[in-house]
Amino acid sequence: MRWLLKIIGKIMSLLYPYKVHQKIKGGIKILYTAWVTSDFYHCGDKVKFGFKVHISGAKHICLGDDIFYGDGGALTAFAIDGITPPHETYSRTYHKDRLSLYVW
């Protein structure tokens, strides 16, 4: 049974290679990011979102440059008095060599 699954996997890799899947997934992620970022107050350059990101209060959030929010992340703007959103928004940016936190 195991050898049959391996053969099916080899055939699938010929019909639909993994690299093709990654390129299609990257293109879909670009479309998803464009769809999600349209609701933000401000969105900087090179902002990317993973899938299944929970966003609440986007119209009160400013995003800086070079930000990536991974799959399953949450981004929320809370109201302090129930009406007015806070004046500071926290954001973590992921760089190759460091993780930093910015406050606006």
Give residue limits of the domains in the chain.
2-103
Phi, psi of 56 (to 5 degrees): -135, 135
Residue 87 DSSP class = S
Question: What are the tens digits of pLDDT across the range 29-81?
Answer: 889 888 888 888 888 888 888 888 888 888 878 888 888 888 888 888 776 65
- Decide: helix, strand or coil at residue 6: helix
pLDDT value, residue 99: 42
**CA angle (81, 87, 88) in 5-degree steps:** 120
Q: 5: exposed, middle or buried (C-beta count within 10 Å: 0-12, 13-18, 19+)? A: exposed
pLDDT value, residue 7: 92
